[in-house]
């Protein structure tokens, strides 16, 4: 390649990276959500390829293909399976490793200040899935007038009727303490990323005394024994998740009191996304290269191709 072509290619690359850095957008974003203003496995879920749920999951991410003991022939996925990290991901609900934007709308009239505050906490995971507001109908639809705090899981949100919320943040307002934003909204954001409750994993369920749990949840939640069985005492099917030992300080782990554990020690829930949470989320949903990583990539390219003669000052365009 002639030197001038090499130069053009390098400049083109610099321009592309600069544009992405400035606009926050890049060609790597895929899917219809990329068009939204300002701003989507081997679990044995749907077994039938012809069914819509399976098609959707597979369209979003080929690794979601339904399976019976399915193991993708993919080095990155094998690496994930062996990675010693711990948030469980319901594998059929995984959004895939490509960077992606999920549009967010609100079911009720919501002041922009509150919208921005909620979305900023959803984005606290700082991974390759970015939550962005849309004035239309979002893929993530938040209601503040429903009961309780909950969210559908991962790609399952695509199956919920657009007239219904996919996430419930009961009575969240600007006066809600910031610690609750961290504890609740980041937790619910984790569900939308595909992370189930950490305390449902077998290792933690084994610590719970069933009879104590029945009494506790009947008293505090009015739950039947069946409900307690399903919500608290039924561990995730180990074949349906990838990840490793449970982490009691994970944001996805609810607090469970000492009075219901066999060892009379509480199962401590996480008040915020911890380092391991974030590491894992960023591992399975890789974020855009950091400023330093981009600069390093360009430095190498420029130094090799242009030396000091180019004289371009490209650094400012990468400012956050």
Partner 1 sequence: MKTIRLIGVGEVTLEELEARLSAYVNAGAPKPILEGTREEKAEVLQRVATRGDAQMRAVVESLLKE
Among 69, 84, 148, 222, binds partner 1 (CB under 8 A): 148
Angle between helices 275-284 and 186-193 (to 10 degrees): 30
20 vs 247, beta carbon nearer partner 1: 247
139 lies in the site for partner 1, by CB under 8 A = no
Q: Could you tell me where the DSSP H helices lie in 145-201?
A: 178-180, 186-193
Q: Scanning the structure block, which residue is given the tokens 């959707």? A: 56
- For residue 316, how far is the Cα from the chain centroid? 30
240 lies in the site for partner 1, by CB under 8 A = yes
138 lies in the site for partner 1, by CB under 8 A = no
Nearest approach, Cβ of 210 to partner 1 (angstroms)?
14
43 vs 99, beta carbon nearer partner 1: 43
262 lies in the site for partner 1, by CB under 8 A = no
What is the CB-side half-sphere exposure of residue 196 using CA atoms within 13 A? 23
Among 28, 74, 137, 164, binds partner 1 (CB under 8 A): 164
281 lies in the site for partner 1, by CB under 8 A = no
Segment near partner 1 (CB under 8 A), from 76-84, 125-133, 174-182, 221-229?
Answer: 221-229
DSSP structure string for 69-109: S---S-HHHHHHHH------EEGGG---SS-EEEEEEESS-
Among 106, 125, 131, 152, binds partner 1 (CB under 8 A): 152
52 lies in the site for partner 1, by CB under 8 A = yes
Among 14, 40, 45, 185, binds partner 1 (CB under 8 A): 45
Closest C-alpha to 142, from 99, 90, 102, 98: 102
61 vs 151, beta carbon nearer partner 1: 151
Number of residues that bind partner 1 (CB under 8 A): 41
What's the 3-state SS for 29-57? CCCHHHHCCCCCCCCCCCCCCCCHHHHHH
Nearest approach, Cβ of 65 to partner 1 (angstroms)?
14
Q: What are phi and psi of 288, to 5 degrees?
A: -65, 155
DSSP state, 144? S
The two tokens of residue 242 are 């990838």
Among 22, 25, 48, 126, binds partner 1 (CB under 8 A): 48
Give, as ranges, the residues between 82 and 121 that touch partner 1 (CB under 8 A). 90, 93
Nearest approach, Cβ of 23 to partner 1 (angstroms)?
33
The Cα 27–Cα 13 span in angstroms is: 12
CA distances from 31 to 61, 98, 102, 132, 203 (A): 11, 10, 10, 14, 38
Nearest approach, Cβ of 229 to partner 1 (angstroms)?
6
Question: CA 22, 28, 29 angle in degrees (round to 5)?
Answer: 85
Segment near partner 1 (CB under 8 A), from 2-10, 46-54, 96-104, 261-269?
Answer: 46-54
Residues making contact with partner 1 (CB under 8 A): 43-48, 51-53, 56, 90, 93, 147-153, 156-157, 159-161, 164, 168, 188, 191, 196-197, 200, 226-227, 229-231, 234, 236-237, 239-240
């Amino acid at each position: 390649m002639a030197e001038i072509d090499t130069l053009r290619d390098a400049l083109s690359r610099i321009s592309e990276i600069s544009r992405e850095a400035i606009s926050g957008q890049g060609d790597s974003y895929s899917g219809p959500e990329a068009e939204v203003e300002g701003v989507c496995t081997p679990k044995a879920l749907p077994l039938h390829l012809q069914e819509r749920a399976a098609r959707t999951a597979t369209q979003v991410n080929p690794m979601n293909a339904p399976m019976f003991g399915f193991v993708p022939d993919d080095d990155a996925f094998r690496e994930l399976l062996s990675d010693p990290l711990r948030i469980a991901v319901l594998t059929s609900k995984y959004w895939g490793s490509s960077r992606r934007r999920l549009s967010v709308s609100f079911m009720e009239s919501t002041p922009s200040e509150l919208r921005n505050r909620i979305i900023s906490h959803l984005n606290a995971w700082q991974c390759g899935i970015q939550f962005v507001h849309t004035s239309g109908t979002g893929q993530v639809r938040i209601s503040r007038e429903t009961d309780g705090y909950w969210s559908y899981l991962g790609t399952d949100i695509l199956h919920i009727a657009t007239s219904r919320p996919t996430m419930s943040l009961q009575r969240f307002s600007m006066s809600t303490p910031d610690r609750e934003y961290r504890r609740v909204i980041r937790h619910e954001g984790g569900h939308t990323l595909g992370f189930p409750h950490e305390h449902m994993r077998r290792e933690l369920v084994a610590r719970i005394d069933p009879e104590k749990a029945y009494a506790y949840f009947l008293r505090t939640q009015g739950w039947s024994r069946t409900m307690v069985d399903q919500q608290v005492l039924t561990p995730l099917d180990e074949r349906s998740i990838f990840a490793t030992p449970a982490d009691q300080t994970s944001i996805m782990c609810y607090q469970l009191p000492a009075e219901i554990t066999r060892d009379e020690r509480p199962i401590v829930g996480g008040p915020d996304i911890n380092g391991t949470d974030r590491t894992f989320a960023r591992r399975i949903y890789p974020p855009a290269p950091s400023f330093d990583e981009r600069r390093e990539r360009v430095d190498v390219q420029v130094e090799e191709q242009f030396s000091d003669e180019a004289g371009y000052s490209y650094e400012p365009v990468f400012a956050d």
